[in-house]
């Protein structure tokens, strides 16, 4: 309990849909770390590894219109939301290929209890079929 290590590492993840807010928050975090380290005679080395840019579409963008159409064709009422999640869609969009994330009905997502009810899996299959058939 009373051991002070000669070195400590901290790994953190920061996300924002706004590049300026992201840079500001990153600088604030780094500044706080540097201030704390300096107060105790330490230093901070910073290395940014990877990174995911956020994306946002308008309701009338073709990819949103197509997704909504496929969802409606499957008998589901579509809705849209903006998140700061990270997925393959972030990478696709970052490389110029429009992509969205379609919610798939998971329960207890990102936990050891994550599951998907069979009726949700069937609805997902219907939406995928509608997307492939251009509905």
Span 56-107, pLDDT tens digits:
899 999 999 999 999 999 999 999 998 877 889 988 998 999 999 998 889 9
Domains and CATH numbers, the chain: 1-51 (no CATH), 62-132 (1.10.150)
Q: Is the pTM of this model over 0.85?
A: no
3-state helix, strand and coil shares in percent for the chain, rounded to the nearest 5: 40, 0, 60
Q: Is the dihedral of CA 29, 32, 35, 39 positive or negative?
A: negative
The pair of three-digit structure tokens given for residue 118, joined into one six-digit string: 């069979």
């Amino acid at each position: 309990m009373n051991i002070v290590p000669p070195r400590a590492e901290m790994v953190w993840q920061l996300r924002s849909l706004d590049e300026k807010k992201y840079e500001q928050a990153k600088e604030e975090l780094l500044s706080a770390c540097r201030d704390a380290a300096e107060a105790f005679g330490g230093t901070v080395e910073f290395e940014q590894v990877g990174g995911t840019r956020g994306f946002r579409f308008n309701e009338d963008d073709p990819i949103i219109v197509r997704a909504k159409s496929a969802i409606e064709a499957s008998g589901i009422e579509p809705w849209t939301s903006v998140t700061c999640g990270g997925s393959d869609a972030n990478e696709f969009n970052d490389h110029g290929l429009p992509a969205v994330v379609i919610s798939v009905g998971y329960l207890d997502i990102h936990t050891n209890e994550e599951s998907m009810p069979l009726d949700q899996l069937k609805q997902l299959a219907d939406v995928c079929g509608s997307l492939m058939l251009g509905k």
